[in-house]
Amino acid sequence: MRSAKSVYLKRAVRLSWFTIIYNIAEGLVSVYFGLEQDSIALAGFGADSFIEVASAIVVLWRFKSESNLSTPMALSSERRATRAIGWLFVALSAGVVAASALKLRQHIGPDTTIPGIIISLASLSFMFYLWTAKKNVARQLDSSTVEKDAACSLACIKLSLVLLAGSLLYGLVPSFWWVDSAAALALAFLIGGEGFETIRSSRREDFTGGCGCSHCE
């Protein structure tokens, strides 16, 4: 039994590293094309990827210090880190709302949403794999930390679906200049909700560590 747990724990760590590497690449590409094509939705999606990197690092921190997390100091440090990540989500949400409102007021749409379509499809593929793999590891380890990490991957899937829907609609009907900003506002709503949920999680008395996501189902 101990050997099986060790195998799944190593798999959880590998999945976390894969999440970090993928989100860094996704963030760089998304922000670049978002700024290049004047797409608020894509740029906001990319910025969210970088915050997800910080969230995944907290999960890795949880695994590495698992034997010491019972101490008040270790858990307190992770609580503060999780809360900071939550506020980063909230700040990003507010920034996306402000930028989207400006674009709507100026009646400005993106040059093209083809990069958004490609990136969102790639994200859906990778995040669906990560979500299902993490849920399986969470069951095997009976780990709330991996379960929360899987919830974060599910949240990324929702963001990818919103980006894909907005990008496809604008690509089909270019006269809908407002679609990108509307999709960005929807993304801001989801990101802000994730941020407040993370903050609430960090303030709970029964906080056990992890990325703070809890809507796994």
Q: What pLDDT, on a 0 to 100 scale, did the predictor assign at position 15?
A: 92
Residue 58 lies in a domain: yes
* CATH assignment of the domain containing 175: 1.20.1510
Q: What pLDDT, on a 0 to 100 scale, did the predictor assign at position 57?
A: 86
CA 1/CA 13 separation, integer angstroms: 19
Q: What pLDDT, on a 0 to 100 scale, did the predictor assign at position 127?
A: 95
pTM of the model: 0.84
Task: Classify each residue of 156-189 as buried b or exposed e, where b means 16 or more C-beta atoms within 10 Å of its C-beta.
Answer: bbbbbebbbebbbbbeeeeeebbbbbbbbbbbbe
Task: Classify each residue of 191-206 as buried b or exposed e, where b means 16 or more C-beta atoms within 10 Å of its C-beta.
Answer: bbbbbebbbebbeeee
| Contacts for 81 with CB less than 8 Å, ≥ 6 apart | 58, 61
Place of tokens 């100026």: 106
DSSP string, 94-147: HHHHHHHHHHHHHT---S--HHHHHHHHHHHHHHHHHHHHHHHHHHHHT-HHHH
Q: What pLDDT, on a 0 to 100 scale, did the predictor assign at position 65?
A: 64
Q: What pLDDT, on a 0 to 100 scale, did the predictor assign at position 216?
A: 43
Residue 112 lies in a domain: yes
CA 1/CA 85 separation, integer angstroms: 35
Residue 217 lies in a domain: no
Residue 186 lies in a domain: yes
Residue 30 lies in a domain: yes
Q: Which amino acid is located at 17 in the chain?
A: W
Structural domain total, the chain: 1
Residue 116 lies in a domain: yes
Domain limits at 45?
Answer: 2-203
Exposed / middle / buried, residue 72 (Cβ in 10 Å: 0-12, 13-18, 19+) = exposed
Residue 122 lies in a domain: yes
Tens digit of each residue's pLDDT, the chain (217 residues): 456 778 888 888 899 899 999 999 999 999 999 999 999 999 999 999 998 888 888 878 777 765 454 555 567 777 887 888 889 899 999 999 999 999 999 888 898 899 999 999 999 999 999 999 999 998 888 877 788 788 888 889 999 999 999 999 999 998 999 999 999 999 999 999 988 988 998 888 877 666 656 554 4
Q: What pLDDT, on a 0 to 100 scale, did the predictor assign at position 72?
A: 58
